[in-house]
Amino acid sequence: MKMRKLGINGPEVSPISMGSRLIIDDPTTLEMVKKQTIQTLQYGIDSGINFLNTADFYGMGMSELIIGEAIKGRRDKAFISVKTGALRDHKGHFLGLDGRPNAIKNFCAYSLTRLGVDEIDLLQPSRIDPNVPIEETVGAIKDLIDEGKVRYLGLSEANAEQLIRAHKVHPVAALEIEYSLATRFIENEILPTARELGVSIVPYSVLSYGLLTGNLEFPLPKGDYRNMLPRFQEENRTHNLQMIEFLKDMAIQKNVSASQLALAWALHQGEDIIPIVGMSKPKRVDENIAALSIEFSAEEMNLLNTTFAIGAMKGDRYPAALQKMAAS
């Protein structure tokens, strides 16, 4: 597996990152999920995927505890990325952001304990707190780097201006942000700025919340969070699913899944693109690794880029209230 450099001065990491959000969503089956997740994480690490992605609020800290178990005896093979600063209640409902320096340092202390490590490899605010100057939030992470508690600075959902401001305080290694065939807005300004600064892009939702798998059945179950996403609502869905049919047809022609094709497209956007992919079982690890071998002809890439042009997918990424906290 060919590694990719995280940031201009950063370490080499695997070309894909193992996400850990969905694997701990059901607390009623915690022990079963925990066992399967540890097995999958260890299988991924042993298969060459060293980039592990989590957040201190995933499962109210349970994700970090599980990763801590999984990396025992494998710490030198794991590069751990942690998002922090998003506040949740005991049911996981979003309450807001806290990017105050003392809060960031406090969150980091708890993450170190839950992970069972002395140093977090990449720490990033989950979103940019509008009530705290980004220089102060990033300055706190710089302090943690100077203290040996964090190795590299990352950002999440920052726009081009915020990225530049943060980079002046301390070099930013990576920007975690939504990027996929369905969501390409970063190509306008954010991606060029990141490349000018030497910042890697770590895309999340590279399958657009499952839309690019081509496997979703509508209507989605009641309570499914995707029902509130504009892209999944009826007025936009018919148009968007027609685009997905094109992706499925090309996948059949290439004898791969639509998911693998969408991941491969992201991987082909540059060596500075390192997508996060959820992997709930070892089989998924193998499928995602197989996507690394998918090649595109110039015609195929042109067809994908034309069909999934910037803005072609109908509907915003989030409802209006949440879209305000996301980069654009």
Residues in a beta bridge with 53: 19, 81
- Ordered DSSP codes for 290-316: HGGG----HHHHHHHHHHT-TT-S-S-
**Three-class SS of residue 319?**
coil
**Three-class SS of residue 257?**
coil
273 DSSP assignment:
B
**Three-class SS of residue 152?**
strand
**Alpha-carbon distance 323 to 328, whole Å?**
9
Nearest residue to 277 (alpha-carbon basis) of 268, 269, 287: 287
Q: Cα–Cα distances in Å, from 247 out to 184, 216, 241, 257?
A: 16, 14, 10, 9
Which residues are marked as active site? 58
